[in-house]
């Protein structure tokens, strides 16, 4: 079967990251992965094609139906999908994972910090989190240089039982029909984007360790420019657990 997104730069980066963490491409076999907010299942499929057991989790019914089509068409025994709000995943009901893929999801949540705690609980000791997310510009100059100045609030503090974290609120949608937009959040009209410093602190507070910022998707100069423009970054963190 031809790949759906197998040649995508981000997918290749994720594969390389997993291979370095596991020791080799052969090390992918036996790994259990979860793809959070998997949309139509393309990334889940590519990870299953690498030999991993993959659970794709998607909250929107329309997207989930497309995931089912992917599952039925390709018939990979290690690929399955679940329709569920990712905030309802629990280790007791759904198990734990060697690899957690959180790509394009965290910035849609109004409480990203409790979700980091949830991912830490789902991650096996020594497991790998690959996080692709927007982050809040740390100052007004950075805000003005980016694409989201008109949708992001001034810097605010978000207080949790693990600490106080700086960031900006992002307007997801307005009006009763806004939630139906395919790229909008599910259930919350605004989301909170932590700054990069706040995100790193929150990852550590949730129990992740050995936290890295990852580059290498495209030419480094272009990548730096794109990250400034879109206020986005790739991060890898290792699960602490009891290990």
**pLDDT in the model for residue 25:** 67
Give the H/E segment covering residue 60. Answer: none
**pLDDT in the model for residue 144:** 85
pLDDT of 73 strictly over 70? yes
Q: Which residues of 94-118 are buried (b: 16+ CB within 10 A; e: fewer)?
A: eebbbbbbbbbbbbbbbebbebbbb
Give the global pTM.
0.92
Per-chain mean pLDDT for the chain: 91
The pLDDT confidence band at residue 182, using thresholds 50, 70 and 90, is: low
Query: For the chain, what is the total number of helices (H) and then of strands (E)?
Result: 8, 10
Q: What single DSSP character describes residue 212?
A: E
d(CA 18, CA 51): 12
Beta bridge partners of 170: 152, 191
pLDDT in tens, 75-133: 999 999 999 999 999 999 999 999 999 999 999 999 999 999 999 999 999 999 999 99
What tokens were used for 126? 């020594």
SS3 content of the chain, % helix, strand, coil (to 5): 40, 30, 35
Whole-number Cα distances in Å, 62 to 38, 148, 150: 12, 27, 29
d(CA 41, CA 57): 9
């Amino acid at each position: 079967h031809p790949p759906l997104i197998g040649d995508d730069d981000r997918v290749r980066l994720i594969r390389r990251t997993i291979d370095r963490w596991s020791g080799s491409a052969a090390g992918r076999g036996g790994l259990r992965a979860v793809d959070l907010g998997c949309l139509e299942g393309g990334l889940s499929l590519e990870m299953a094609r690498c030999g991993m057991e993959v659970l794709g989790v998607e909250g929107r019914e329309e997207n989930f139906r497309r995931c089912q089509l992917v599952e039925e068409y390709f018939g990979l025994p290690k690929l399955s999908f679940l329709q569920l709000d990712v905030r309802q995943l629990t280790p007791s009901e759904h198990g734990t994972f060697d690899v957690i893929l959180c790509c394009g999801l965290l910035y849609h949540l109004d409480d990203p910090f409790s979700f980091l705690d949830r991912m830490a609980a789902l991650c096996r000791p020594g497991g790998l989190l690959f996080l692709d997310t927007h982050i809040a510009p740390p100052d007004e100059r950075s805000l003005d240089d980016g694409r989201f100045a008109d949708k992001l609030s001034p810097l605010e503090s978000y207080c949790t039982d693990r600490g106080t974290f700086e960031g900006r609120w992002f307007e997801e949608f307005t009006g009763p029909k806004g939630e139906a937009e395919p790229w909008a959040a599910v259930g919350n009209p605004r989301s909170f984007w932590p700054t990069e410093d706040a995100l790193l602190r929150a990852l550590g507070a949730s129990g992740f360790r050995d936290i890295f910022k990852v580059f290498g998707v495209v030419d480094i100069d272009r990548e730096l420019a794109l990250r400034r423009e879109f206020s986005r970054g790739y991060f890898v963190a290792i699960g602490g657990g009891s290990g």
